[in-house]
Structure 1
Amino acid sequence: MTAFQQISVAVGKGFVRDKASLFFTFLLPLFFLVLFGILFGAMEGSESTLEPIQYIAPGILSFGIAMSAVFASALTLVSWRENGLLRKLQLAPVSPFTILTSRFSVTVIVAVLQAALFFAVAFLPFFGLRLESTWWMAVPLFLLGVLSFFSLGILIGSVFKTDQSASAASNLIVLPLGFLSGTFFPLDFAPSWMDTVSLASPLRHMNDGMLALLVRGEGPEALLVPCGALLLFALITTGLAGYFLTRGDQ
C-alpha cells in the first residue's frame, strides 16, 4: 500500500469514528433544507423566477460542503500538530503534496456522499427539486469549490494552534459567508455594499455557478467566472497556508 493510500485510509477511519463530524457533515445541510423548505414551501415562483426549492437547494448544498471541508481540514491539521503526527510526517519520506492530496481525496469523497444524500432527500415529492440537463457540467465547479474550502481550512489550521481556536475561527469565517453569498436569501434584496463585498467570497461564486448549471440550465460559459474565482482563491489561500506553516516550523 502506498503512502497516499495509507494516509487516506487512516484519515477516512478517523472521520468515520468521529460521530459528531458524521452528524454535522451529513445532517446539517438536510436540517437547513427542511427548515427553509417548510418556511418557503407555500411560496410559488412565477414564470420569470425560480421556485423557492430551486433557488435554495444549490446554495444550501454549497454551504454544507464549505462547512465540512473547512472544519475537516482545519481540525485535522491542528490535531496532527498537537499529537506530533505532523512532525513525524514531515520527517518521513513522504512529500507534503502526498499528505495534502490524500487528505483532500477524503474530503472529496465525503463531499460526494454529502451531495448524494442531499439530492436524494431534495428529490422527494415534499421538496420537489428538479435539475436541468446541464447539471453534469457542475462537476468541475463542485471540485474547485471543495478545493477552495479545503485550502481555507488548511490556512485556518496553519494560523490557529488549538482545536478551540481553529473551530471558533472556522465558524466566524464560514457562517458569515453563508449570509454574504446568497445562500439563504437572494442578494437582489440585500444592500448594494453587501453584493459588492460578496464578490470576494468563494461561496458566492460556487453558489452562482451551481445555481446557473443545476437549475437555470445555462451553458458552459456559466463556469468561467465561478471556476476562475475559486481557483484564484484556492491558490492564494494555499500560498498563505504554506507561509504560515513554514514560519511556524522555524
Structure 2
Amino acid sequence: MSAYSALTAAGFRAQIRDLTTVFFTFAFPLIFLVVFGLIFRGQAVEESGYSYLSYTAAGVLSWGVANAAVFGTGFTLMQWRADDILRMIRMSPAPLSAVIGSRYVLALGVGLVQSVLFVGVAMLPGFDLTPSSRWPLLIPVMILGITSFLLLGVVIGSIADTPESVAGIANFLMLPMAFLSGSFFPLDAMPEWLQRISLVLPLRYLNDAVSAALTGRGELSDIGMGCLGLVVFAVVFGALAARTFRWTKKS
C-alpha cells in the first residue's frame, strides 16, 4: 500500500469513528436550510424577483461545503502535528503531497455527500427547489471550491497549535464571510459598498457559481467568473500553505 493510500484509509477510519463530528458536518447545513425555508417560504427578493430559497439554498450549500473543508483540514493537521504524527510521516518516505492529497480526497468525498444530501432535501415538498438544466456544472464548481477552502484549512492548521485556536481562526474567517458573501442574505438586497467588499472573499465566487449552476440564477458567465475567482484564491492559499506548513511545532 502506498503512503497516499495508507494516509487516506487512516483518515477515513478516523473520520467515521467520530460520529458526533460526522453528524454535525452533514446536519448543520440542513438545519440552516430548514430554518430559512420555513422563515422565507413563498417570499421573493424584490430586487430580482427570485425566491429567497434560490439564494439561501445555494448559499448555505456553498458555506457548508467550504466550512467542512476548512475545519476538517485545519483540525486534522493541527492534531497530527500535536501528536507528532506529522513528524513520523516526515521521517518516512511519504511526501507532503501524500499528506495533503489524502485530506483532499476525503474533503471531496464529504463535499459530494453533503451536496447530494442537501439538494435532495431541498427538492422535497415544502422547499420545492428545482435544479436548473445546468446542474452538472455544479461538479467542477464544487471541486474548485473544496480545493480553495481546503488550502485555507491547511494555512489555519499550520499556524494554529490548539483546537481552540483552530476554531477561533476558522470561525473568525468563515462566519463573517458567510454573511458578507451572500450565503445567508441575498447580496442584491445589501448596500453597494458591501457588495464591493464581497468581491475580495472566496465564498462570494463559490456562492455565485453554485447559484448559477444549481438554481439558474445568473448566466453561464457567472459560473466562469466564479470558477476563475476560486482558481485565483486556490493559488493564493496554496502559496500561503507552502510557506506556513509545519511538520512539528517548531518547524
Aligning the two structures, in what range does the TM-score lie when normalised by the shorter sequence?
A: over 0.9
CA contact (8 A) 1:137 1:220 kept: no
2:18 maps to what in 1? Answer: 18
Query: More deviation in 215-224 or 165-174?
Result: 215-224
In the superposition, the TM-score normalised over structure 1's length comes to 0.94
Three-state SS of the structure 1 residue aligned to 2:89 is helix
In structure 2, relative to structure 1, the CA distance for the partners of 1:96 and 1:126 (3 Å cut) is same
1:204 maps to what in 2? Answer: 204
In structure 2, relative to structure 1, the CA distance for the partners of 1:195 and 1:44 (3 Å cut) is closer
In the superposition, the TM-score normalised over structure 2's length comes to 0.94
2:72 maps to what in 1? Answer: 72
- Structure 1 spans left out of the alignment, 5+ residues: none
Deviations along 1:24-59, one digit per CA (max 9) or x if unpaired, are 21000000000000000142578x621222221111
In structure 2, relative to structure 1, the CA distance for the partners of 1:10 and 1:168 (3 Å cut) is same
RMSD in angstroms over aligned alpha carbons?
A: 1.8
Query: More deviation in 227-236 or 238-247?
Result: 238-247
Counterpart of 1:204, as a letter, is R
- Structure 2 spans left out of the alignment, 5+ residues: none
CA contact (8 A) 1:33 1:57 kept: yes
In structure 2, relative to structure 1, the CA distance for the partners of 1:139 and 1:219 (3 Å cut) is farther
Deviations along 1:6-40, one digit per CA (max 9) or x if unpaired, are 11111111111112311221000000000000000
CA contact (8 A) 1:75 1:166 kept: yes
1:132 maps to what in 2? Answer: 132
1:194 maps to what in 2? Answer: 194
In structure 2, relative to structure 1, the CA distance for the partners of 1:79 and 1:173 (3 Å cut) is same
Deviations along 1:197-218, one digit per CA (max 9) or x if unpaired, are 1111111000001111211265
How far did 1:102 drift? 1.1
1:172 maps to what in 2? Answer: 172
Three-state SS of the structure 1 residue aligned to 2:245 is helix
Query: More deviation in 75-84 or 188-197?
Result: 188-197
CA contact (8 A) 2:60 2:184 kept: yes
Question: Runs in 1 of length 4+ with deviation above 6 angstroms?
Answer: none
Three-state SS of the structure 2 residue aligned to 1:28 is helix
How far did 1:224 drift? 2.2
Counterpart of 1:187, as a letter, is L
1:92 maps to what in 2? Answer: 92
How far did 1:219 drift? 5.7
Aligned mates of 1:187, 1:43 — CA distance in 2 = 16
Q: Percent of pairs identical after alignment?
A: 36
How far did 1:241 drift? 1.6
Residues 138-153 of structure 1 mapped to structure 2, 5 A cutoff: 138-153=138-153
2:155 maps to what in 1? Answer: 155
Are residue 237 (structure 1) and residue 237 (structure 2) matched?
yes
